[in-house]
Chains A and B, each alone.
Chain A
Amino acid sequence: MQTKIKHDFLQSEKGQLADKILRSCVHCGFCTATCPTYQILGDELDGPRGRIYLIKQMLEGHTVTKETLNHLDRCLTCRACETTCPSGVEYGHLLEIGRSEVEKRVKRSLLQKVLRKTLLLILPFPKRFAVLLQTGQLFRPVLPGILKKQIPAKTRLTKLSLKNHKTKMLILDGCAQPALAPEINHATRKVLDALDIELVSFSGCCGAINQHLSDEEKALVIIKNNIDRLIAEFDNDIEGIVMTASGCGAMFKEYPHLLRNDEHYKNKAEIIANKTFDLTEIINTEKLKNKLNVNKNLNIAVHTPCTLQHAQKLPLNIENILSSCGYQLSTIKDKHLCCGSAGTYSITQPELSAQLREQRLSGLMVGQPDMIATANIGCLHHMNAGSTVPVRHWVEIVAENLKP
């Protein structure tokens, strides 16, 4: 596509990158077909091709208003468009530039500012989030139904007796997950123990929340801190870091891109990304199969999170593990679609997010499953609030079927 990016911006590294990405787009429109928001709203401006155009206009110096901001805000960053795009347009990276540029040009409403600031003050901090959630859980019995669905009941975990293994890996605790669903990492420890892998806890947030809310500066602080701590850990015989939330995994794998201009951190980021594994990547299915008493009556629908299928490009990993282990998989429709959770999207765009959830769940329910399996805490929590069947992390299902 032809571009006429403003001269000064074109001089910057970001300008160069944006121009390169824009020019790789040939405006074919294939992306609109798999864009969840375009499929609901039917407006070019709410699809990837339109958003690319809005960003192009902005960088070319056209007037920008809240319109552009709104349409960019409505993007889920699910990156289904990237999977569909034959020309190889790096939409996610372009959107990142577009979002940070539009923040500079358009003022948000006070309400939006407060909301976004509040999210930034709570979510990335596990302790703050935990306190808030515990307060909610305390009052859960007296809360109205709608809020009750948002707040999971408190879980009690059995104490594990795990062995020591030669193979050691880190496991990211994450920010919201330890409080919302501690059972996920608990199950992971059990399953990996059976596969002779020992896990060492690594606390902290991946930085995605700040990144998605356009708080890049703070995001970089978090990321660099993670990198420094990880590099130190990797010296001690640690094979890598395991992610039980595909959103965090996708973010870790983005570190080299985010630090591409930082001479000091560039290479380190590369090392971290190469040692970051989604849980599905390290499962030895042959070995696992023999350790399970699979419940074959269970009909499971798999929702592969966007961060796993589109960002990490691992679209079939969950299905492959479950079906190789002998689980019965339910047919689903529109595998590529986002559930509407998308980080903080369910909070910043509640209406669309609910519509997307409904659409996604109806696609997952076509084969009348007993359960939905996924791989990301965001999707899990968001879909649970609207689903008639339980939504669980796939590793929990597997952990329950481990032979004693």
Chain B
Amino acid sequence: MRYHCRMTRATKDNRKSLRKQLHQVLPKTCILETPEQTIPYESDGLTAYQQKPWMVVLPESIEQVQTIIRLCHKEGVPVVARGAGTGLSGGALPLANGLLLSLAKFNRILDINPANRSATVEPGVRNLAISEAVEKFNLYYAPDPSSQIACTIGGNVAENAGGVHCLKYGLTVHNILQLKIITIDGELITIGSQALDTPGYDLLALMTGSEGMLGIIVEVIVKLLPRPEQAQVILAAFDDVVKAGEAVGAIIAEGIIPAGLEMMDNPAICAAEDYAHAGYPVDAEAILLCELDGTNEEVTEQIQFVENLLTQKGATSLRTSQNTAERLKLWLGRKSAFPAVGRISPDYYCMDGTIPRHQLPFILQKISDLSKEYNLLVANVFHAGDGNLHPLILYDANIEGELERTEEFGGKILELCVKAGGTITGEHGVGKEKIDQMCVQFKSLELQIFHDIKHSFDPQELLNPGKAVPTLHRCAELGGMHVHDGLLPHPELERF
């Protein structure tokens, strides 16, 4: 699907002038502009959308980024920032008339301060690289999105990335202390501090998850946690997905907060096992992975308790990791589950809705019904502990019309999540992908205030325009197509 943005006010002359100036300030190897060089940047981790950027720049210093942003500001040319390009919502989808600013060269860990339990890193540092670097101090960085091997911390902040351990340890927003941001006028500002709180509004929270719309992140100070003394994971197999879902609720109702609580259905189990050889039971309808961590005594006590509970709730088999290697192997399958689905289908479309946990059986049933209706298979991977669903719709982009059907199916799932009291995105962000569903989740007043927030930082809409927040007109147009409960949304708006 080609994506067009109508927003920019920059003319051809502006771009010509910008190009000339960029060549003066950047080395030749840091500028990519022929289609041969720029097409490989046309998608991030979501290939359903492609857009060749006008130009790609690969700056190496904060000063260079400042200069680039000042020039873009002056010429009115929009900018999209990009880290590793692993995002799943098209948040780093380029613009035909805009600059793609890659921060991949900012990959140094600047400082590790074990006593303050913090590390200062550049935005292009990979999530996992942080934990690896601080391992010698027996510390780690908690949020662990499945793409943690490759995704960068800058992107994690922009999307407020979660992961399999955020039920207990929180999202990115809970695990960062300070950001250095370049605002659209090229100013370098510091948000947050090394202290636990900072005077004024919580701009750190506002910036986290703002999808590159408010500023360019050039430095991050992350919080580090002590590695728990002990961590073990239980693999429980079920012959029924709903039973597995109920077991999740039962664990939490008992007052236990597992470090991770994940669920996969049969197609996902098979694909992941094929890659990871983690010993997943490929004949199970669903598996739960439940990690418990803490002190030795605590974990031993809780493991036994949860094992009994899972058996009571109908688990057909249980396996508990006996060492770190086994535990990591069990997680490897889960963390590779998305791309591993590439083994059973040429393309997949990953959804990210979140629901109150007790709605799980309802949503599962609905997804299964829709799967039949659209004749598209679904592999389900869930962060079950926090109700975050990742149904993967399997399709083949080479078959005409299949992507469109997939998108429609996905949209339906998200609308169901909103209906069930949840949200359209738990951790992947709205990006380009879920922009229409934003109209379902929010009323025009809220959308207007989102635009107002954007304008407080970026009045000309030059930073990643067209993402995350739909224009009210777009929602009005869509509203004309989707009439909910007999009511036309946004009756106050003119229709086109």
Contacts and interface: CB of A to CB of B under 8 A. Distances in A.
Direct contact between A and B judged by beta carbons closer than 8 A = yes
B300 interface: no
B102 interface: yes
A23 B40 contact: no
A112 B300 CA distance: 64
Contacts of B151: 29
Nearest to B403: A2
Nearest to B348: A26
Interface residues of B, number: 43
B111 to A, nearest CB: 19
B150 A33 contact: yes
Interface stretch (B30-38, B215-223, B465-473): B30-38
B86 A29 contact: yes
B58 interface: yes
Contacts of B340: 86-87
Interface string A47-69: 00110011001000011110110
A30 interface: yes
Contacts of A23: 346, 398
Given A23-B398, A54-B36, A42 B107 contact: yes
B94 to A, nearest CB: 12
A89 B342 CA distance: 9
A48 to B, nearest CB: 11
B203 interface: no
B343 interface: yes
B293 interface: no
24 contacts: A1-B47, A1-B347, A23-B346, A26-B342, A27-B43, A28-B147, A30-B149, A30-B336, A33-B126, A33-B150, A42-B58, A42-B124, A43-B32, A43-B104, A44-B40, A44-B41, A44-B85, A49-B40, A57-B36, A62-B39, A64-B36, A86-B276, A86-B337, A88-B274
B339 interface: yes
Q: Top 5 A-B pairs ranked by shortest CB distance?
A: A87-B342, A2-B397, A86-B336, A53-B40, A42-B104
A1 to B, nearest CB: 6
Nearest to A63: B36
B343 A62 contact: no
Interface string B391-406: 0000001100000000
Nearest to B106: A42
Which of B102, B104, B276 has the most chain A CB within a 10 Å cutoff? Answer: B104
Contact of A30 (B104, B150, B347, B348): B150
Nearest to A66: B36
Interface string A8-26: 0000000000000001111
Given A1-B47, A2-B47, A68 B36 contact: yes
A203 interface: no
Given A44-B85, A84-B149, A26 B36 contact: no
Interface of B: 32, 34-37, 39-41, 43-45, 47, 58, 84-86, 102, 104-105, 107, 124, 126, 128, 147, 149-151, 274-276, 336-343, 346-348, 397-398
B115 to A, nearest CB: 22
B128 A26 contact: no
Contact of A28 (B102, B105, B274, B339): B339
Given A23-B398, A33-B128, A43-B58, A67 B37 contact: yes
A87 B39 contact: no
A366 B39 CA distance: 39
A62 B45 contact: no
A85 interface: yes
B45 A29 contact: yes
A39 interface: yes
A57 B39 contact: yes
A69 to B, nearest CB: 10
Contact of B342 (A2, A25, A29, A33): A25
Contacts of A34: 149
A32 interface: yes
Nearest to A38: B104
A2 B40 contact: no
Given A2-B398, A87-B340, 11 more contacts: A2-B47, A30-B149, A31-B150, A33-B149, A43-B102, A57-B40, A85-B339, A86-B337, A86-B340, A88-B274, A88-B342
A32 B148 CA distance: 12
Contacts of A45: 32, 37, 40
A44 B43 CA distance: 11
B40 A28 contact: no
B343 A87 contact: yes
Interface in A98-152: none
Contact of A29 (B58, B147, B274): B147
Interface residues on A, range: 35 or more
A30 B147 contact: yes
Nearest to A3: B398
A136 B339 CA distance: 51
A65 B32 CA distance: 14
Contacts of A32: 84, 150
A87 B45 CA distance: 14
Nearest to A26: B342
Interface string A325-363: 000000000000000000000000000000000000000
Contacts of B147: 28-30
B130 to A, nearest CB: 13
B397 A42 contact: no
Nearest to B30: A43
Nearest to B34: A67
A17 to B, nearest CB: 15
Contacts of B337: 86
Given A44-B41, A67-B36, A28 B346 contact: no
A85 to B, nearest CB: 7
B91 to A, nearest CB: 13
A26 B348 CA distance: 8
Contacts of A44: 40-41, 85, 102, 104
B220 to A, nearest CB: 17
A86 B339 contact: yes
Contacts of A3: 398
Contacts of B397: 1-2
Contacts of A64: 36
Given A28-B86, A30-B147, A30-B149, A65 B347 contact: no
Contacts of B347: 1-2, 26
A86 B150 contact: no
Contacts of B105: 42
B135 to A, nearest CB: 10
A86 B344 CA distance: 11
Contacts of A88: 274-275, 342-343
B107 A39 contact: yes
A54 B42 CA distance: 12
A52 to B, nearest CB: 8
Which of B34, B36, B85 has the most chain A CB within a 10 Å cutoff? Answer: B36
Contacts of B47: 1-2, 26-27
B122 to A, nearest CB: 11
Contacts of A53: 39-40
A64 B34 CA distance: 10
Nearest to A30: B150
B183 to A, nearest CB: 24
A2 B50 CA distance: 11
A64 to B, nearest CB: 7
Nearest to A68: B36
Contacts of A31: 150
Nearest to B397: A2
Contacts of B58: 42-43
Contacts of A30: 86, 147, 149-150, 336, 339
Contacts of B342: 24-26, 28, 86-89
A387 to B, nearest CB: 23
Contacts of A25: 342
Contacts of A24: 342-343, 346
A24 B346 CA distance: 6
Nearest to B398: A2
Which of B124, B128, B337, B397 has the most chain A CB within a 10 Å cutoff? Answer: B397
